[in-house]
Structure 1
């Protein structure tokens, strides 16, 4: 039986997933929610560049709730818009409709102490009121640094340390990396994520998750931050990073126990493949790596690509994988008891219906 789906949010990720739902045998799109008034009344097919399908977008939550879908796949804005995300997600949960989302990445591990109660309590109450479940995922934070490393840790007799890396070129990225990361800004500019508490809350949720899964309690979580300044212009999709400005950042989020880093998230984010030449690289461009020092030691490298001739880049492929992780999790989330859902609660999600 196909799962009846409402998709909320037709931004970059939402539009990618819409195109996949239409041809997926396991899901039926019954509604589309949008926050942009200009999209209200438009056909879902047209919103993702396809022929009309007869499902019109709306911003009316009650209309979507009345459809009684099996789940909402929610591709709303980031945690910078927490109040709006909580309003929308909470409304569906209170009505008894499960939600699988990619928006509030600190919810990848709701037990993280950096999550403010005002972000957690309303969703806990909504789940209880409606008897519904809420699952949040992503790529990083998300499956690249929770599902992947935790699965590999299960192949070890002992793990001395585990590192999950994101190594990406942001040249084609059009989001806000200037304010959040400081890329394109003078080196003296302090980016939002450069502030340790904000970095841990925004991108570090999987560190305490992995510690919990391994049965340990970390002594502390610390961070490091480095900048690389270009001496020549670097062209990007957003313009040019001028000489003397930051063209790469390198940060870590470190879960420490007994004076040692045992769990580490590491990011190397560049604009331009030649930037920061001495910093870590994968065996190919734009990869996610897991490195486990243990018995045995393990290295896994994952690359997301399109091979359909569309010319779409690796970042777009990763965004699609992010959205589809939430969609493909719907049947499993439907089968779980009400409440918060994390990667630790889910069974294997093999992608039923994907081979066809």
Structure 2
């Protein structure tokens, strides 16, 4: 790991702001945040401290990273803009050509070799050419439903089947996530949004394919289903009123088959209600493993932690498009 990383926060939505704030408050001894980028006119020109709720930092938000590079040496970019490879490709290409390492929260970037093969190959080739590293990570994908079960298989002499469950009470989460899972929609509206292919949780199939890659199998078939969870009573969050009979959230599954057998199942429920969060991994192996995290892993905080902790590790990896399997054992850092 470099002694101290000079970094830029690229994208200042809720996750980007939390990432910047966490770096300033908890990681300033290891990461020197030298700039922030966003294209929203209401953010450009403001001091970053004002946006993230701390004292003025002397870091002015700009809409072009080149203005930061003219004044600072930058090692790495924390990239937190959007979920889809097709939408971030140009951003990634620009950053790579500027010889910047990238840790990104883009869900499809976590394991893009299955659904975005061509873009992934282009990014990998370019990153190798400019000798930088590009990594997609987060909490899901990035940990709960992929990296965590993969690590648990270390103590199994054989693995027959893996099932991972994640249940999230979206009542506690930010408005963009509640909207992302369709909270408050009519069922017909949910189906229309589902048909766009850019709705609901993004990255479940990427998690599935990552697990298959780790387990050294090529799946014969993948089944993915996204269905609404409809509330039987009216619900209220800080942001929304959800009427009885409307959508409270999603039930999203991805199942991988090998030789006609179901070998990997990922089951995700994210909805508004009064239920308890949890994450669970069930491994049919030798020995069998059943692990449950009571109250679950809180998504926003964990996403930021994964971005920051991975940033320390990627400099040990080869240049190119990386996965979490390429950077060594992911871990946090003890603060006393």
Q: Provide the TM-score with structure 2 as the length reference.
A: 0.88
Q: Tell me if structure 2 keeps the 8 A contact 1:219–1:256.
A: yes
Distance across 1 between alignment mates of 2:232 and 2:149: 37
Task: Give 1:320 shift.
Answer: 2.0
Task: Give 1:142 shift.
Answer: 1.6
Unaligned stretches of 5+ residues in structure 2:
none
Partner in structure 2 of residue 135 of structure 1:
135
Q: Secondary structure at the match of 1:37?
A: coil
- Judged with a 3 Å threshold, the aligned counterparts in structure 2 of structure 1 residues 9 and 227 are, in CA distance, closer, same or farther, namely closer
Partner in structure 1 of residue 317 of structure 2:
336
Note the alpha carbon deviations across 1:279-313, whole angstroms, 9 max, x for none: xxxxxx222221212222212233678xxxxxxxx
Task: Give 1:183 shift.
Answer: 3.6
Alignment of 1:98 with 2:101, yes or no, is yes
Q: Secondary structure at the match of 1:237?
A: coil
Q: Tell me if structure 2 keeps the 8 A contact 1:304–1:318.
A: no
Q: Secondary structure at the match of 2:187?
A: coil
Distance across 2 between alignment mates of 1:4 and 1:55: 13
Q: Secondary structure at the match of 1:351?
A: coil
Q: Secondary structure at the match of 2:184?
A: coil
Q: Secondary structure at the match of 1:344?
A: helix
Task: Give 1:122 shift.
Answer: 4.2
Alignment of 1:161 with 2:161, yes or no, is yes
Q: Tell me if structure 2 keeps the 8 A contact 1:6–1:69.
A: yes
Q: Tell me if structure 1 keeps the 8 A contact 2:250–2:270.
A: yes
Distance across 2 between alignment mates of 1:232 and 1:27: 47
Q: Secondary structure at the match of 2:317?
A: coil
Partner in structure 1 of residue 330 of structure 2:
349
Q: Tell me if structure 1 keeps the 8 A contact 2:167–2:279.
A: yes
Q: Tell me if structure 2 keeps the 8 A contact 1:181–1:192.
A: no
Partner in structure 1 of residue 112 of structure 2:
110
For residues 1-356 of structure 1, the aligned pairs below 5 Å read 1-23=3-25, 24=27, 25-66=29-70, 67-79=72-84, 82-83=86-87, 85-103=88-106, 105-112=107-114, 114-115=115-116, 117=118, 119-173=119-173, 174-175=175-176, 177=178, 181-189=181-189, 190=191, 192-193=193-194, 202-273=203-274, 285-302=276-293, 317-352=298-333, 354-356=334-336
Partner in structure 2 of residue 280 of structure 1:
none
Q: Tell me if structure 2 keeps the 8 A contact 1:94–1:132.
A: no
Task: Give 1:116 shift.
Answer: 5.5
Q: Tell me if structure 1 keeps the 8 A contact 2:78–2:307.
A: yes
- Judged with a 3 Å threshold, the aligned counterparts in structure 2 of structure 1 residues 197 and 88 are, in CA distance, closer, same or farther, namely closer
Q: Tell me if structure 1 keeps the 8 A contact 2:133–2:318.
A: yes
Note the alpha carbon deviations across 1:59-111, whole angstroms, 9 max, x for none: 112123332311111111222x843x2222221211211000002x1111121
Unaligned stretches of 5+ residues in structure 1:
275-284, 306-313
Q: Tell me if structure 2 keeps the 8 A contact 1:93–1:127.
A: yes
Distance across 2 between alignment mates of 1:254 and 1:128: 33
Q: Provide the TM-score with structure 1 as the length reference.
A: 0.84
- Judged with a 3 Å threshold, the aligned counterparts in structure 2 of structure 1 residues 148 and 286 are, in CA distance, closer, same or farther, namely same
Distance across 2 between alignment mates of 1:158 and 1:218: 17
Distance across 2 between alignment mates of 1:192 and 1:303: 32
Q: Secondary structure at the match of 1:154?
A: helix
Note the alpha carbon deviations across 1:100-140, whole angstroms, 9 max, x for none: 0002x11111211x2162x3344234313321110001211
Distance across 1 between alignment mates of 2:62 and 2:200: 34
Q: Tell me if structure 1 keeps the 8 A contact 2:140–2:203.
A: no
Q: Secondary structure at the match of 1:175?
A: helix
- Judged with a 3 Å threshold, the aligned counterparts in structure 2 of structure 1 residues 237 and 55 are, in CA distance, closer, same or farther, namely same
Q: Tell me if structure 2 keeps the 8 A contact 1:70–1:334.
A: no
Q: Secondary structure at the match of 2:280?
A: strand
